[in-house]
Structure 1
Amino acid sequence: MNTINNVAEIQVSYYPSILNNFQINDSKSSFELLLEGWCKKTLEMQEEVKILLLNRSNKVLGVYPLAKGGLNSCEVDIRIILSVALKTLSTGIILIHNHPSGNTKPSKADLAITERLKSACDIMNIVLLDHLIITKSDYYSFADEGLL
């Protein structure tokens, strides 16, 4: 095989699971689903970012662990988010991250990345349905607050 013609690509594996029958109807159902699968040992220790990937009926295609950070920040790469969404043929996504501080109020960086991600999703015809900031007992929904 000629390796010069090979191109590096993102690989996403698909393993059907119980999630495939789970439909997201509101921010609370997103929060409950993600909190159940979140590592409780690190929820208050370090920031993590995940993407909930959805089909046209808002049924869950999967959850992609995007990044882990430190106590109060985490790198969010929009190119990777869109690459994963396109590769999985997702028509909608929900961005979720935790605040180890326990404060669900969005930071200026949270507001900025949400705006940038929404613009990028619009170009690719992917709907950014929500951005959730979660703690072990509460959440903030950008959609519920009218910011999406």
Structure 2
Amino acid sequence: MKVAEIKVSYSSKNMEKIKITSSQSVYNLVLSNWDLNIIEFQEEVKVVLLNRANIVLGIYEMSKGGISGTVVDLRIILAVALKCSASGIVLIHNHPSGNLEPSDVDKQLTTKLKEACKLLDLVLLDHLIISKEGYYSFSDNDIL
């Protein structure tokens, strides 16, 4: 009887070592890796994966949705973090409307992800809501 073989891979060849020191440094990094033509049109979710020294391992493009929402599957976020041996993660998404205030859904998602990370010895360092003009940091606003 044949079953599918599972392969896990992660590659970081010749990548620049970027250290995250603040929410501003995360914002600058993701904004430079975001399609600015879409940021005000389509909601996207990305995850910055970090090692124990807060060096960026990579950015995972979680999902692209519509004007007012997108799917965030916590299991996929956690699987990707484990796959690349991340110690910490930062969740980032944009609000195409430009409104940086977190919704109730944003707050619930953050709480749920933080609890799930604890079970796997991962740290949810922050959740940023971004636009071209600025960002909202859950960590900076003491709601993480």
Q: TM-score, normalised by structure 2?
A: 0.95
Q: Quick check: 1:12–1:84 contact (8 Å CA) kept in 2?
A: no
Q: Which residue of 2 aligns with 1:3?
A: 2
Cα distance between partner residues in 2 of 1:96 and 1:61 = 15
Q: Which residue of 1 aligns with 2:117?
A: 121
Letter in 1 for 2:38: T
Q: CA deviation at 1:8?
A: 4.1
Structure 2: state its 5+ residue gaps.
none
Q: CA deviation at 1:133?
A: 0.1
Q: TM-score, normalised by structure 1?
A: 0.92
Q: Is 1:101 paired with 2:125?
A: no
Cα distance between partner residues in 2 of 1:59 and 1:117 = 21
Q: Deviations over 1:33-86 (max 9, x none)?
A: 000110011000000000000000000000000000100111100000000000
Q: Quick check: 2:12–2:57 contact (8 Å CA) kept in 1?
A: no
Aligned residue for 1:56, secondary structure, equals coil
Structure 1: state its 5+ residue gaps.
none
Cα distance between partner residues in 2 of 1:12 and 1:78 = 19
Task: Name the structure where helix makes up a greater proportion of residues.
Answer: 1
Identity of aligned residues (%): 47
Q: Is 1:23 paired with 2:22?
A: no
Aligned residue for 1:96, secondary structure, equals strand
Aligned residue for 1:84, secondary structure, equals helix
Q: Which of 55, 61, 76 is residue 65 of structure 1 equivalent to?
A: 61
Cα distance between partner residues in 1 of 2:15 and 2:27 = 17
Cα distance between partner residues in 1 of 2:29 and 2:65 = 22
Aligned-CA RMSD value: 1.3
Cα distance between partner residues in 2 of 1:65 and 1:12 = 16
